[in-house]
Structure 1
């Protein structure tokens, strides 16, 4: 269901970019992202599509309050209901299906885009980029932008990750692609677990389809890293589950992946190896040991419950995203 909050008389043909923000229970952080979008500089006509993936904390009310206050330079803003299936991939596809511009730009509800982010997306698009990732910096604990850089290029999947060849990919908090390109590769994989590896997985399919991923450093996003040990380990564990599903999705790429039994047998030594391989003081070594253990436990759960247990559903293209014409 689409709930329009757009301005009277808006013309879809004047929209160059659709900004898609997927969220589940993001009321505490959403306002700062929306304000950053409202204050974009030198941006073409763009809309904001908030995809609500089953929030229960007043997220939609935050969005509606922002929209009622004027939305700044944003031409249109809408809420799309995606509560019927919890998961980032489904939400991304639902947002793409509801978007009206030829270019889709994705950012997260707990981050903050740079002041020329939409303009940079548009510049990359008109230069011919079909898919593009950007620069990722860090928000501090008070959610203020810093100069600390997390990513200053495309990321890549390669032999160190167990892959047979190198695949570049963008981070899911900061990327854009033409709507036609996303539809042509089938959209995001809705069969994956709710969190993790969606950006890597679609990066693989884009590369297989012959799409060159571009990098635009002016596409800056300030990322809010997980704070607190519990939150950090939870994310790592969930990413491990998704990584196991990625192995199963692309077995030709991951030919020498470990089994669940092998991971369990190696588990007692996992934190020791991680700590010894970590640089820094005792605190950093303890964190490395904990994260390595969380990842391997996630891999075991993914291999057993999702892959062997049948929870990883076959994926033959999005259930909600229809093909678009054009480049």
Structure 2
């Protein structure tokens, strides 16, 4: 299956330490496990100075080798790129052309740390996401109106922060009016940290920087520092309160600072040997008793809710964590396995609690990691807010019955209970395309349709206009909630069913796009189908263009060949790779039709004389062709169509047959022609069926007999040697009726009338075998006459007396 691609923009070569490498890997592997194809790219234009031993070193080559070494063992050996923008602009890992293509094909580009300046190729996708791992500085700059920060953030389409307390009453960070920052947290691939050390050590440890005298900020006349050494010094007497069981692996700690710590009972070691090797770093954490650490003054006093990636890995290893309170207690459970502190007394109480029942706190730590930091949960929540397509790949999408069309109960439950997606997309002031969808109940179909369209990739900027024709099954409430989450969606509400043509006209009148798409609500649009369909409108000879589909009722109809969502996407992706070809066709059914605005303005709105539905598409296709435009379908575009999700409800009552007859009459009176049934494409399997039906008739039915065939209008099924074939059901003169019987009684009545006119046998091809399940009374009637043939291709019944 062609998987959605996600690009992670990172900074491992600028900060080549184990903690940053593990953080990056948690994102890459976590997204991969969610089913995405993930890529790592560095394009931050910063010199990888920490990798250079001499000024004359080839910094780019060293950076590329570092990335390859870090990622290869985790399966990303061929899915990375280093764009040396700090030097000569050369690309390593892939060519610049391949990198640009990767950006263009990505469903999402995540700017991890917010450390990469947005480039034109990122901005053009409108899928660049800002992910801030250190809150405070950016928020303060925005509050001060710093234009450089505003300009940097604007190209992103969504904003996430590790400041999980952001926006809460006790958080002092200023809230931006222009940018909506959404809290997220550190993802951890839990199995990377489990079971590596059976017996914990005796020390509470941590790994970090000691003195970092930069990035101070001022807010409201108060200075907030960045360096952790100031916070550690507040608790320097801790070992004397709890025994000397605390070890700090520090970078940036000189001799005098180290002596000061050791004099107060702290064990101190150099962090560099641990940070240069991801395995050594991991082992150090897993072999500890737990973690004791502090946070930056900025996060503590401003109550940002920030939490450490490293602390999350201690929890994942089942190691309790004691860390300075930043407000994270508003989000994470504390008191077992995780302790927030503000005073020495808080720390002492936490150490004593852990010592009293270490196994309980170890289990609690692992449980917190599982509940709150599991990479798949964290990243699924992030993607949910971004609005990534989430339809389960194994979702069964074949209809379980027809007329009315129904879905498998588990499928319906899965779709209806799924959380609503949000979107990071902004509504374009000038959408290039407008997709008009008419809904009349059928919530499960509408959800599948709209959420697939809104998840489209590689398409021009678009809007979706839904015209709700008086739905009463929760559709209106769903549309209201979805439009709140996705600004590309506009809803027009009718109090009653105005009919398909009228509703489409409402939607088209409200559309802004220069390209217009009419789409039924009982469709699924594969991710790249919309873009492919619209690409064919560049041919100015084309008036209307549609896709191929499993339910098209014309030559554009293809074998379904799939039953699950995954198989549909695979089939659509394979078809999308084929050479583009347009096939002229007399008529396109309007389950999915695209046109340019100029075509619509030339042809005009749909003819509303056709009431609820039926024949408005025949009419519009004829109008387009008479205006000099081609009506075509595109072989490289595939859309799934359930078919008759709304109209099928009218079949059991007989209203469908009445509507068909009335609108056919309107069509013929308007144009002064006799309506012709639509052709079907002859694929190999269908050809084999036709041949097998002819063989069965020849072998089982006497020469000279009149044979009725449930033909769906295909004359090929009527061509028998020495036997007279005829459509069933049919209108006066033997013309295919164009619709199915409303119920068994209507079917039996029609068969009896034709039997009185000389019909002796009826053939049910395999393509119509569902009749025998749907029309129970008809089946009993046919079986009373007896089957004369029963094969894989068809059943043939002798017409006898009706059941009394």
* TM-score, structure 1 as length reference: 0.66
- Cα deviations across residues 26-75 of structure 1 (Å, max 9, x unaligned)? 32321111110121111110000001122222212212222333x4xxx6
Q: Does 1:243 align with 2:664?
A: yes
Q: Does 1:18 align with 2:431?
A: no
Does the Cα contact within 8 Å between 2:425 and 2:488 map onto a contact in 1?
no
What is the CA–CA distance in structure 1 between the aligned matches of 2:633 and 2:766, rounded to whole Å?
A: 34
Does the Cα contact within 8 Å between 2:467 and 2:494 map onto a contact in 1?
yes
What is the CA–CA distance in structure 2 between the aligned matches of 1:188 and 1:210, rounded to whole Å?
A: 17
SS of 2:669's equivalent in the other structure is helix
Q: 1:103 aligns with which of 512, 515, 536?
A: 515
SS of 2:611's equivalent in the other structure is coil
In structure 2, the residue matched to 1:164 is none
Change in 2 beyond 3 A, CA 1:106/1:251: same
Change in 2 beyond 3 A, CA 1:225/1:186: closer
SS of 1:137's equivalent in the other structure is coil
Q: 2:633 aligns with which of 207, 215, 219?
A: 215
In structure 2, the residue matched to 1:176 is 594
Change in 2 beyond 3 A, CA 1:110/1:79: same
Q: 1:135 aligns with which of 523, 535, 548?
A: 548
What is the CA–CA distance in structure 2 between the aligned matches of 1:99 and 1:46, rounded to whole Å?
A: 10
Q: Does 1:116 align with 2:528?
A: yes
Q: Does 1:280 align with 2:698?
A: no
- Cα deviations across residues 130-154 of structure 1 (Å, max 9, x unaligned)? 32111112689987476699xx986
In structure 1, the residue matched to 2:753 is 269
The Cα of 1:200 is off from its aligned counterpart by: 0.8
Change in 2 beyond 3 A, CA 1:16/1:281: closer
Does the Cα contact within 8 Å between 1:116 and 1:218 map onto a contact in 2?
no
What is the CA–CA distance in structure 2 between the aligned matches of 1:269 and 1:111, rounded to whole Å?
A: 38
The Cα of 1:278 is off from its aligned counterpart by: 4.1
- Cα deviations across residues 69-96 of structure 1 (Å, max 9, x unaligned)? 3x4xxx6210123446621000111110
SS of 1:130's equivalent in the other structure is strand
Does the Cα contact within 8 Å between 1:20 and 1:96 map onto a contact in 2?
yes
* Larger Rg over CA atoms: 2
Q: Does 1:126 align with 2:538?
A: yes
Q: 2:623 aligns with which of 205, 215, 227?
A: 205
In structure 2, the residue matched to 1:44 is 460
What is the CA–CA distance in structure 2 between the aligned matches of 1:259 and 1:283, rounded to whole Å?
A: 22
SS of 1:28's equivalent in the other structure is helix
SS of 1:29's equivalent in the other structure is helix
Change in 2 beyond 3 A, CA 1:97/1:254: same
Q: 2:473 aligns with which of 57, 68, 92?
A: 57
Change in 2 beyond 3 A, CA 1:275/1:144: farther
SS of 1:191's equivalent in the other structure is helix
Does the Cα contact within 8 Å between 2:583 and 2:635 map onto a contact in 1?
no
SS of 1:100's equivalent in the other structure is coil
SS of 1:94's equivalent in the other structure is helix
Does the Cα contact within 8 Å between 2:584 and 2:630 map onto a contact in 1?
no
The Cα of 1:112 is off from its aligned counterpart by: 0.9
The Cα of 1:274 is off from its aligned counterpart by: 9.3
Change in 2 beyond 3 A, CA 1:216/1:226: same
The Cα of 1:252 is off from its aligned counterpart by: 3.9
What is the CA–CA distance in structure 1 between the aligned matches of 2:497 and 2:636, rounded to whole Å?
A: 34
In structure 1, the residue matched to 2:642 is 224
Does the Cα contact within 8 Å between 1:19 and 1:47 map onto a contact in 2?
yes
The Cα of 1:253 is off from its aligned counterpart by: 5.1
SS of 1:104's equivalent in the other structure is strand
Unaligned runs of 5+ in 2: 1-422, 552-559, 573-580, 677-730, 738-748, 779-804
CA RMSD of aligned residues (A): 4.3
The Cα of 1:108 is off from its aligned counterpart by: 1.2
Within a 5 Å distance, the mapping from 1:246-325 to structure 2 comes to 246-252=667-673, 267=750, 268-270=752-754, 276=761, 278-280=763-765, 284=769
What is the CA–CA distance in structure 2 between the aligned matches of 1:82 and 1:200, rounded to whole Å?
A: 25
The Cα of 1:122 is off from its aligned counterpart by: 2.1
The Cα of 1:194 is off from its aligned counterpart by: 0.7
What is the CA–CA distance in structure 1 between the aligned matches of 2:673 and 2:519, rounded to whole Å?
A: 31
Does the Cα contact within 8 Å between 1:102 and 1:179 map onto a contact in 2?
yes
The Cα of 1:8 is off from its aligned counterpart by: 9.8
In structure 2, the residue matched to 1:321 is none
Change in 2 beyond 3 A, CA 1:170/1:281: closer
Change in 2 beyond 3 A, CA 1:252/1:101: same
In structure 1, the residue matched to 2:93 is none
The Cα of 1:175 is off from its aligned counterpart by: 0.8
